[in-house]
Amino acid sequence: MLHLCSNLHFSIKTWSFLFIFFILAFFTTLNYHHNSPPTSLFYFNTFISSATNYTLATYLRHLTLHPHLAGTTPSLHTALYVKSHFQSLNLQTHVTNYTVLLSYPLISSVILHFPNGSVLSLALDEPGFSSSGVVKPYHAYSPSGSAYGKPCFLNFGREKDYIALGTNGVNVKGCVGIVRRGGGLSRNEMVEKAAARGVEAVLMFTEGEFEGGVERGTVMSGLGDPLSPGWGGVENGEKLRIDDPLVMQRFPSIHSLPISMKSAEIILKSLEGPEMPYEWRKSLRCSTSGRLGPGPIMINFTYQGEKKMATVHNVFAVIRGSQEPDRFVLLGNHRDAWTYGAVDPNSGTAALLDIARRYALLMRLGWNPRRTIILCSWDAEEFGMIGSTEWVEQNLVNLGSKSVAYLNVDCAVQGPGFFPSTTPQFDNLLTEITKKVNDPDSEGMTLYERWTAANRGIKIQRLSGVDSDFAPFLHHAGVPSVDLYYGRDFPVYHTAFDSYNWMVNFGDPFFQRHVAVTGVWGLLALRLAEDPILPFNYLPYAAELQDYTHILSKLLEGRNISLHPITAATQELAAAAKETLGEAKKLKEDKATDEHTALKRRILNDQLMFAERGFLDAEGLQGRPWFKHMVYGPRNDGESELDFFPGIANAISKLSGGGEQNAAIQHEIWRTARAIQRAAHALKGELIT
């Protein structure tokens, strides 16, 4: 019945689309007869009205017919499907290939030895998928090897968790650590923190996974191909040796595997030893003995994998701008998946393909954007944003001088609720666009109305995390960025159950959430590509920096540390933001088309575009120099209370204390202040004299 209703719904939507299309074509013809070409508003409305859930569902169905892990033949077929789609729309299409180091599993086993002599081999494959072509659960770039030891529960594997274990008299050295995902740490951080305390191997599980699903993932640190750090991994280009220290430091020093929550429960229910802290027991969603271990059972752990060179494929469609072809608006989504990838990432891929279809429709109606639009389909994101990072590194100069914005969608639809993340100059534009898109779950409401009602106001997250393809654009190249999601979490993340069936039964049965995300994404790009004056407003950025400084002042209260450099620089940015808003208003009201006015618009747009680059520091973050953004970026310690000013957060998290630490914090404050000041001067378009 569900599928019958769904098909009926698609049919109605399809006929509505055809009706609207012919009406629009009719009025377009009338407009041309009266020598008045369609306006931007006409094209924006056409973009919205040409949405169909049927096409989105069709794209997703095709993309998820087979698992398509990066570097495999099915992954190549998916790349060719995207390329063929772009070409069928007569879009300028090309593919860029990179030869990179990927990681795949060969053999894995986890055998439990009980005190009574019985033995149990844990099932590591997901039920029903042993011969489906789905890669067995593993951690990419985990070293091969074996371990034999008593299991011990490490909770999230955070610093405070190890302190709690020590307080309870638990010595984790030589143990096999059982750790649950979460707590703000990446997989790499969990494994490395365990290794630093003498843990022999790590078994990682995710609570609430769907029907015995197992969460795959990478445990490599950093972004991009480990053999070409800082430059594009082109074929026949420079490659470091795999045993080079720069390469080896990217990989964990101990072995790890993901297991299902069901398998974790078998181990946790067998543990003896001290009682778990109450807070741990209260938050656990799986059955346990309530004890920490170690033992008394023993675990025999074996993992053998292979790291090998593979070719990955980025696919692009380019719509050349008519007036400013050297200014780029980029829309990106990764295409590779651990398994079938219906949510992650191909809900986003389907949206990208539909945006291409709708832009091609606008082009047939006579539209050509002012600025160039580039649709980007990335490969090997799951291994560490490899496809996008290699491309950014190879094109760093042009991206830095010509990119207006990067708009990312990874998991377009995970469930209910709109969850955008942006750099703050997008806040007003994003809010305005959500008023133009219908909410998929509330009839008669716009997305803006439902979003603000659910959050009691506008709630936009920021982009300090390193969890999708916006990271190389923002953290390395300083390109203003957006990341859009519908839904927050989903129980089939990185499992074999992330399939088309799960989407139509749970995630988005009628594909209306797909329609909503596609509408916001496509309209954002249209505004950025079409508006004569870029719709950036840096006042929210200055306000956000003021809020960060207030939080920081409370955290540093009582220390001999001054935040005045950041306060003064932020005031300078706020003044520049007000000044550019005034100039933008004047130029919007000025309808002149002479070269002088066009040059003034171009100059102001450059100021608005380049201001974000000012937040970059050439030396990068201490210990992680590839990451250069001083406002948003990863912290060295995932447990830090700050998710902004990463350089300052890293200095605070160091345990040295005293005057030496205060000096390090003060230095990072000055570095951050100088970055804000650079952004302010870029926004004003002035040299410091």
Summarize pLDDT for 151-175 with one digit per residue, the tens: 999 999 999 999 999 999 999 999 9
Nearest to 252 by CA among 104, 144, 385: 144
Asked if the model's pLDDT at residue 131 lies above 90, the reply is: no
Q: 189, 381, 544, 583: which is the annotated catalytic residue?
A: 381
- Check residue 16 and give its pLDDT: 47
- Check residue 128 and give its pLDDT: 87
CA distance 622 to 633: 12
Q: What angle do CA 242, 243, 248 make, to 5 degrees?
A: 85
549-591 residue pLDDT tens: 999 999 999 899 999 999 999 999 999 999 999 999 999 999 8
The model's pTM = 0.94
Give the distance, in angstroms, between the CA of residue 653 and the centroid of all CA atoms in the same chain.
25
The DSSP result for 484-498, as a single string, is: EEESS--TTTTSTT-
Asked if the model's pLDDT at residue 9 lies above 50, the reply is: no
Asked if the model's pLDDT at residue 238 lies above 60, the reply is: yes
Task: Tell me which of 225 and 235 has the higher pLDDT.
Answer: 225
Q: Assign 3-class secondary structure to 153-189.
A: ECCCCCHHHHHHHHHCCCCCCCCEEEEECCCCCCHHH
CA distance 248 to 39: 56
CA distance 587 to 583: 6
- Check residue 657 and give its pLDDT: 62
pLDDT band at 639 (very low <50, low <70, confident <90, very high): confident
385-440 residue pLDDT tens: 999 999 999 999 999 999 999 999 999 999 999 999 999 999 999 999 999 999 99
**DSSP single-letter state for residue 45:** H
pLDDT band at 350 (very low <50, low <70, confident <90, very high): very high
Q: What percent of the chain has pLDDT over 90?
A: 88
The first and second tokens of residue 493, run together, are: 């993340």
The first and second tokens of residue 16, run together, are: 């509505």
CA distance 342 to 332: 17
pLDDT band at 132 (very low <50, low <70, confident <90, very high): confident
The first and second tokens of residue 280, run together, are: 């741990």
Mean pLDDT in residue range 215-232: 97
- Check residue 655 and give its pLDDT: 64
**Residue 381 annotated in active site:** yes
- Check residue 33 and give its pLDDT: 41
610-624 residue pLDDT tens: 999 999 999 999 999
Burial class (CB in 10 A: 0-12, 13-18, 19+), 31: middle
- Check residue 689 and give its pLDDT: 66
Asked if the model's pLDDT at residue 4 lies above 50, the reply is: no
Give φ, ψ of 309 to 5 degrees: -75, 140
**DSSP single-letter state for residue 96:** E
CA distance 223 to 470: 11
